[in-house]
Structure 1
Amino acid sequence: MSASVQPHEDVEEYVCPACKDVLTDPILLPCLHSLCKTCLSTSYTQNISQRVFKCPQCDDDIEKPDNGVDEFQPNYFLNGLVSVYKAKTSKDIKCKICEFQKKDNFAILKCLSCGDFLCEDCGNAHTLTRMTMDHQVESLSELQDGRRDKDMRQKQIITCKTHDGESVKYYCESCSLPICRECQLEDHVGHTCATAKDSQASRRKAIANMIINVEQKIQALKQIAENVDSTVNDINKREKDLIEGVEKTVKKLMDQIEKEKTEILKGLKQTMDDQRDACAARKEQIKTLSDIFAGNVSFCNEIVKNGKDVEVLYQEKPIRRRLMALQSKNVSDLAMKWHAPDIRFRNVFLTVDRIGLFDLTLSKGFSRKPEAPLKFGARHVTGFQLIRRINTTVPREDSFECRATGLGFLYEDHFVVGDQENRKVKIFTRMGHYTETVANVKPSGLAICCDVIGVTDTMSLHLYTNDRTIKKKISLESTGSSYPVAALSDQNFIVVNNKTASFLMFDLRGELVHDVVPAKGSKIRNPVFITSNSKGHIIVSDWLSNCVIIMDDQGKTIKEFKIKAKMGKSAWLPGSICCDHFDNIYVSDFSRSRIIVLNPQGEFMFEHETRMDYLDRPRCMTTDGNGCLLVSGKGGYLNMYNIQYI
């Protein structure tokens, strides 16, 4: 029966999470939470067809034992604490012995030894039996001040389920089971047994050691929670900064737009006023001429109608000369010609509905406290899985076998091929289906930045948007260079003059931002391919020094990588180069038909032989953000791989 419980500061420790009342016969679950035995039975029998039920406190899945609820172990420790708690705080609790006799008497006593609550009569009789004569019975009123808590706990005994009334005082080491004296004499004869006091010491120590390890986890979770709080602060601050940045940028743009609006409308009005003034002057000229014509005609009419014969004869010659002069005059030249002004939206996107001033992007796995083992965000590459081979020579469209000199992923389901042999920039689906030709140029390099396709030939950098609304050509220095090109930090194109080993940076409108000159002592001599990583580092493969070189955006060398020639093994020839979204570096080894994989620091990870995949002399490569790698080789074919990570 439920007892009326007085308020207590620790009451939550003894409340069943299912019934929200003080625990009765608490049963320990594998998750170390406890339920009343009756509550456990209810949870167990609900959804009886399922093999698990959920702990009401932590929502863990608890497997149902085959032998039912009785296979769960009683929580003897918590039961002892609850017994002490009830002795101090409960009112109107019923006598345990009277309950068995169907009587309804309230308890005023408690046996500290067996834990039973007793009325006065049952309490007086409790110590009169052989089994309970040593039990200690106390008044509930004397237990409520808490001074007897320790004494109550020491007097509590756990009785054996098999031998009712026998206290459990021993431990069978062979069976790992607490037992009573009768159990030892009957079922555990010959087993290694010891007293509970002797057996508990080593187990307490083992549990204490495990607790230390778990407490370390708790501390780690605390630090992670602090990290999450710091991350939330960072998120809030970043959001505030970005909002302020957008607001400032928009205000600046609006101010600039208003300024340009004022200036352009002022210029428009001046232009129109000038042309209106010209019209007014021309009209005045026409009026003057018309008056002259009208005056001459009036005079001539008067002579013809009213002049004397001799007067007409005298005036005939000058009149005829004047009229002939008036007839021959080209009055059509006096028609007004004006220049209709036009105001064009001078923007890289050409139309208002494609301004695209802002992009919302996420950094690659930003973390306030990155894990150390894989350094700055990398994941190890373990291999490549060939998905498909794609023929990039288009039947009935191409005159020659495709020679890919540039690759790039466009959208999620298309990629672009720069075909030097057929002088085309072509788009294919990921399934390998040709869709269209973007441009007819002879590409020496190709890169995609946002939605802009950048293509270089030996003279120029060409820019196209993915819907071909923009076509722009930027002249480059005529040196015969192949001009490798790459996207840098998703906002610029970087173009290499491999004759002078210098780097030019252009924005998406084709405006020169600045140039980068390798620092003194750099091994960059003839950079033939280029890429960049998420940190804005420039990575080149150089054929004269036979190196892969990583440098920062100021031209300072960070790392150089080179495979040395060994006995019976030719030196490599680094070709096309690209980075995945973890900043791992992929280099095509043109001479040995291999793909070399370097970690973000430029250290060797492993190599893959492409001849096994029917691809000889890999030339161009590109990756997307989803672990896909495209590699071109001889014969106009591409291999598409899935990159395998750990």
Structure 2
Amino acid sequence: MAAKAPSLSKALTSGFLTCTICLERLRRPKILPCLHSYCQECLRKLAGGRKELQCPECRERVALPQGGVGALRTNFFINGLLDLVRPTGEAEPTCSLCPLIGQETGRPAVSRCLDCADDMCRDCASGHRCSRLTHLHRVVAMEDYLSGEHDEEIRKRQALQCKEHPGEELRFFCTPCTVVLCRECRLGAHLQHPCLSLAEAAQARRPVIVELLAGVEETVQVIRAGRASLEREAAQLQVREASIRDAVEQACSRAVQRLLAQQEEVLAQLADYGKERQKACQALCSDLEFQEQVASSTVAFAQKVLSLGREVEIVSLEQVICERLRHLQGFSWEPLATRLPCLEVDAEIEGSGPCLFHLEFREESPTGVPEGPQEETTKGAKKKTNLPEGPQEAATKGAKKETCLPCLEVNAEIPTGVPEGPQEETTKGAKKETRAKKKRRKQQQQEQPVPGTPLLTPKPLFLCSFCVKIPSDQKCPLVTGLCPFGSGELLVADKQNQNLKRFSLQGEFKGTVPVPSGVAPVSVATVGSKVAFTAGSCLYLLNGEGGLVWQKALGQGQASHAVVGLGGDRMAVCVAGQLEVYDLEGRLLEKIVPEGSGERCLVFLANHKDGFVGSDWYRRSVILFTRTGQLVAECSEEQLGECQPGAVCADATGIIYVVLRELNKVVAFSPRGKEVGAFLSAKNSINRPRVVTVAGKRRFAVALSNGTIHIFRIRYQEDVRNDNAAFFTKNPKGCNS
């Protein structure tokens, strides 16, 4: 993490020189081991005669030295910055030399000597420049001095005086004693000691602070990542809890009255667990946020000292800064071990059958702490690793524990009678297959059709073609969205002309749906009698006449957001790899997170039977997933001809159509994601297709880049696959569906 060096002007104008106890400018600042500075008097009042005090900002306890607060280390770095701050609310500066030579007092100062630190009137400034002793002094205009123009130069001219030898500047650093010396001190008790100049000493100690600073910056990054992971885990727990709650309620509505008591028990158990884990996550997240703030403030102070401090200040603060950075570098925490509930629901129960719900907490891979590249986490084992010092080692903090997310399993078949114990073996018939085996066998049966089962192959029949340009258009149309509208119409989103246009399936212009001024619609969908569309990072809902019902700001993360309607009262919009579902009132109902959503970017989206189909531009694939986010199938980049997938849609039979703009094709896939073949190509006058949709009775619409829309009718041919050969059975009328 490369932080930008702070500037001197920003340090003078910000709250860096303000005491957080009295909220006034620091007076006689004292620095604590945690690198926080306060006024000496404020610390004396805070200590109240005790032998220790607690830092008001980081709450770290500090033992006071023998002399009390006055014996604490003085912050010479802040003292040097305070010398540059001009007092506010006072009278204009007057000449400080006139009273010394018997002139009248109160004459306004127009200049200042940076070497003598004297304010002078015009006559004294002229004489100051002509004197043999001061003619080389740097005299500047008072206006420039007060404006801060010469702060950097003044900062370089500042010199720290020796307390034991007034008038002598501190110039040396005694290596064995680790103290700064003036010339007289150097010739005294430290004459035989090896000494360095302040510049050499500061240069030698700067890399130590820089190395420790880099380690603490990595610690801050790890803390921030851990806190973000905890927040994601808490959100995931909320989503899973909501889904399990819905499943329990739906199952209970179909069950007999005697099972309602068990329903309440399971829901109460789930709610109590969710509240407990949420509370624990929030508490740990709050602690991590606080530690992040403490570490960040320490890093900021160390950076200011390294960037703005003089050599003597760096040397004087090096020990306390290094101690603090080492303390923060060793920070670690133990993340929560969250066991998430899993539920099994039996749909049919007779007599005194088994329990309807089976709630369990399944262990999954640990979350919350980033792992090193060569670390392996053993299930159930607790590990705790400190931040490694080497730059090549992974920065892993805290303990790694197995995390369990709530899972819901619904059983469709339940045997009668009393459930058997875990150690008993059934004597009725053969042993049953596990649910996982049944699920895998069912998927294999679906993916591998039985010989002789017909698969539909879509074929296009051209009907008409028309251009979406209308007389009021000022620019060439750019169709970015297309969807069915009412009965026998299409709604076209023209981003270039900022319009929503209505056309019949025969190409007749029916009018426009007004959109807010200056808004260019991208993706569009109908929701009942209303119209939803996205533009930029906003989601809009219009009524039938084009009046704005509401608009929502969407999260950043992708340039455009696809929207689809869900029935007549909901809509789903793509936001950063997941779907957000809203109702007609603009309320966020749920978030659908497809598997692997952290590595996905869904640019195009469409409804597909009981789920969705989307174009993933990160993985260059097309994915099919359910309403709960479970991945059904994925069409890889190889199946798409090594091309970036474009717009997608699906017909009533579940066949998926994908635009491959680079190849001037629209290809078809089966409902299980198997490639069927090209549906449209250049032979069908397809040139740079953009968006597609299915409307009316098997009407397929494709919009091209030049603003033309082609309408085709979908004909289905049965592809009968036998063990020995494959042949086509064609309908003579071309309409076999």
TM-score (structure 2 length as normaliser): 0.34
In terms of Rg, which structure is larger? 1
Structure with the greater relative contact order (CA < 8 A, sep ≥ 6): 1 or 2? 2
